[in-house]
A and B are shown apart, each in its own frame.
Chain A
Amino acid sequence: MGEDKPCSRMNPTHREALELPSRNPTADGNAGHNPDWTRSRGEANPAPPAGGAIRPRSAHARRYNTSPLLRSLKTACSLRGGSPAMFAELNELLNASPQRPETGKFTLLRDTRTDGSFLVHHFLSFYLRAGCKVCFVALLQSFSHYNIIAQKLGVSLTAAEERGQLVFLEGLKSCLDLWFGEQEEQSGKPSPLQFISKSTSDLKALFDFVQVSLTPASSDSWKGPVLLVDDLSVLLSLGATPVAVLDFIHYCRVVVCSQLKGNIVVLVHSNEDSEDEENELVVNSLCHHSDLILWVEGLATGFCKDVHGQIKITRRVSLELTGEQDVVQIYQYKIQDKNVTFFARGLSAAVL
């Protein structure tokens, strides 16, 4: 079967350094195609054959899985013809679809004792599929890391960047340019991360960057803009004060959510017994302002092979001031190579 050859998934800098021809494996893992073919097409890779996302379940499991929501979820996924793009099960749980993305929403991704970055990959491929213009502030990992995972989910980030749909700020690279490149300071535009080396601790340069990238030009035909931030907590580590971070988010909300009718998705780390008070301040404040909170936690009882954690989805209906309470749903999940499966608590494959 088409398993990716190990060499094809290497960091491109390392690949160039070792002088290997670059490979561009397709989403379904057939590494035998001519690499230039997929790149010149400039499109996301074609959907692999149906049945890609259907998990084989034993007859035993089918008999005992009586939750109507989950049953309809499984049939919906199988009927849709299962292209492994962006976690179809999560779309069902959130009642979201790339054909009609919502507008003006602020989604907070929060993780505790585990890594919630799989949600970032989900939203990135979701909004790219939906045809929105995305500004991705990626502070923690390199471009190739996101690209490789996005290809598994059926979206090519290089192609999206080329056609202008994606503006990618690679934090690591721009920090290096800022730190070691004295010449560029005078010539080019100011670096978005200039708060690291200057004494001013406000994030105005970063906000200007976001505003410029997401303001629609006259020739653009994309649906609403989306700002995606992978890891707001890193900004605190780099010297920004919590107030500066909250100001930055506030300005972005005004521009992106209210004026441009777009969406914002932000990932933060948090911990109940954390001693990082600045981080907890930012996280709590953002929780009060978000429309949707996805809180990913590792299991309190420890590590388990079949259940990687639990996700708590909170829809802040109370913000609409209709007197209703927030809707909270809790599921457990397991991360696989190209997909994440969600199930009700206690119904993991290990138990059934």
Chain B
Amino acid sequence: MAAAAGGAARGRGATSFQRKAAAGSRLATVAGTRPSVRHGQLLLSSGLPSLDCVLGGGIAVGTLLLIEEDKYGFYSSLLFKYFLAEGVVCGHDLFVASAKEHPDSILKELPAPLLDEQRNELGEEATAVKSEDFQDSMKIAWRYQNLPKMEASPTTSTKFGHYYDLSKTMSPELFQPIKWHSFYLPEELSLQPTVKTRSMNSAYGRLLLSIQRIISQEGFDGSDPQKKQKNILRIGIQSLGSLLWGDDICCSDTPEDIHSLTKFLYVLRGLLRKSLSACVITIPAHLIENKAIMERVTNLSDTVVGLESFIGSERETNPLYKDYHGLVHVRRIPQLNSLICDVSDMKDLAFRLKRKLFTIEDYLLLQQSRKSLQ
């Protein structure tokens, strides 16, 4: 029960037992998804297998993942690109919205996926790094030699997630069959100077109209029964709430309209719940001075993950964090169709960016394992 291959292999005690996904095979008619063992919803990969494990298997279809940006927005934009790249590899439709850079240029910079041989190499490199202090063969407990070592980095052994190489960009051929839609705010403003949006920031209102139009036209809400091949829409919105969206919550303590962002999230939640889509939003939480807004935004989102990078902070010199580039705070996990949340075992998470690989690991666990081996 605890060792289903469909669910995440939780660190200690991962066995080689593989549960046949018989019940799931009827369901996985949409590429790139798998049903969750816990609550029966379809799960998507976020593009980062270690993040999928932390989130309890992946992002559930119909939910919203909010990423609180780190100080310079560097790592959160990486996660954003991973999400979109995963959509390209799985063949999902994309909807990219941004007020800062044109979606075309965002999509040109997606990381290239790793093929299987390269992925094995990369996997070996990652494990070699982790087990560098490990002794050679066991002399007394030799029966335990071949069991998997205690995993402090969450891994999944299925083909659900993909690995990406950050040093290369995705080739345009992979991109050809993908249908994608974009929303670039300055362009929208010039195309349609006046749009009637009621009691909400006009940029958010336009974005909502655009998303709703795409969902109903392309049939993601099941309104087109003729459509045989179901597909998922991945919505990515970059830097929502920043000044470029016309909202002043990031630059003033008493903003003009504190309800725009929360109303937007509420209507978006309604749209997501009734369609086959999932959304990732990055939000510059460190700039929002009125913390009440962030609390309300957290309550209205399904999953909230905060990134804190060590660039320029005093934690950079802390020996505890010497291998890492920042911390990951999981602020909220969704509770879908069940009384219990899928809370992961790992609580103290940090991320690091090697040349090609971005991983999220439990740093305290690794520390303890290294100390115990010395």
Residues of A within 8 A of B337 (CB): 9, 11, 144-145, 148-149
- Are A18's CB and B339's CB within 8 A? no
Interface residue total, chain B, C-beta cutoff 8 A: 53
Contact (A238, B262) CB under 8 Å given A9-B39, A10-B40, A274-B295: yes
Interface-facing stretch out of A40-48, A156-164, A172-180, A342-350: A172-180
Interface-facing stretch out of A113-121, A128-136, A204-212, A244-252: A113-121
Residues of B within 8 A of A173 (CB): 270, 274
Q: DSSP majority for the B interface?
A: loop
**Residue B61, interface by CB 8 Å:** yes
**Residue B273, interface by CB 8 Å:** yes
Among the interface residues A13, A173, A233, A236, which one has the most CB atoms of the partner chain B within 10 A?
Answer: A13
Q: How far is the CA of A238 from the CA of B259 in the complex (A)?
A: 6
Q: Name the contact of B221 in the complex, choosing from A17, A118, A238 (C-beta under 8 A).
A: A17
Total number of residue pairs linking A and B with CB closer than 8 Å? 149
Q: Name the contact of B270 in the complex, choosing from A4, A7, A172 (C-beta under 8 A).
A: A172
Contact with A along B277-319 (1 / 0, CB 8 A): 0000000000000111001100110000000000000000000
Q: How far is the CA of A14 from the CA of B296 in the complex (A)?
A: 27
Contact (A176, B199) CB under 8 Å given A14-B62, A149-B338: no
**Residue B217, interface by CB 8 Å:** no
**Residue B120, interface by CB 8 Å:** no
- Are B26's CB and A7's CB within 8 A? yes
Among the interface residues B61, B271, B339, which one has the most CB atoms of the partner chain A within 10 A?
Answer: B339
**Residue B222, interface by CB 8 Å:** yes
**Residue B267, interface by CB 8 Å:** yes
Contact with B along A230-261 (1 / 0, CB 8 A): 00011011110000000000000000000000
**Residue A96, interface by CB 8 Å:** no
**Residue B36, interface by CB 8 Å:** yes
- Are B296's CB and A236's CB within 8 A? yes
**Residue B266, interface by CB 8 Å:** yes
**Residue A184, interface by CB 8 Å:** no
**Residue B242, interface by CB 8 Å:** no
Q: How far is the CA of A337 from the CA of B290 in the complex (A)?
A: 37
**Residue A310, interface by CB 8 Å:** no
Q: How far is the CA of A20 from the CA of B299 in the complex (A)?
A: 32
A274 to chain B, nearest CB (A): 6
Q: Name the contact of B27 in the complex, choosing from A7, A144, A239, A271 (C-beta under 8 A).
A: A7
- Are B343's CB and A303's CB within 8 A? yes
Residues of B within 8 A of A180 (CB): 209, 212
**Residue B90, interface by CB 8 Å:** no
A297 to chain B, nearest CB (A): 16
**Residue B263, interface by CB 8 Å:** yes
Contact (A335, B340) CB under 8 Å given A14-B42, A173-B270, A237-B259: yes
**Residue B97, interface by CB 8 Å:** no
Q: Name the contact of A198 in the complex, choosing from B199, B209, B263 (C-beta under 8 A).
A: B199
Q: How far is the CA of A194 from the CA of B41 in the complex (A)?
A: 31
- Are B339's CB and A149's CB within 8 A? yes
**Residue A8, interface by CB 8 Å:** yes
Of residues 49 to 68 in B, which have CB atoms within 8 Å of A's CB atoms?
61-62
- Are A115's CB and B335's CB within 8 A? yes
Q: Chain B: which residue is nearest A8 at the CB level?
A: B40
Q: Name the contact of A274 in the complex, choosing from B212, B267, B290, B292 (C-beta under 8 A).
A: B292
- Are B40's CB and A239's CB within 8 A? no
**Residue A276, interface by CB 8 Å:** yes
Can you spell out 27 A-B residue pairs with CB atoms less than 8 angstroms apart? A4-B40, A6-B27, A7-B23, A9-B39, A10-B27, A10-B35, A10-B41, A11-B62, A13-B221, A17-B222, A17-B276, A19-B230, A115-B335, A145-B336, A152-B338, A172-B273, A176-B274, A179-B208, A233-B299, A234-B299, A237-B259, A237-B300, A239-B263, A269-B299, A278-B292, A336-B339, A340-B339
Contacts A17-B220, A17-B276 known; 4 new A-B pairs at CB < 8 A: A18-B230, A239-B259, A274-B292, A303-B347
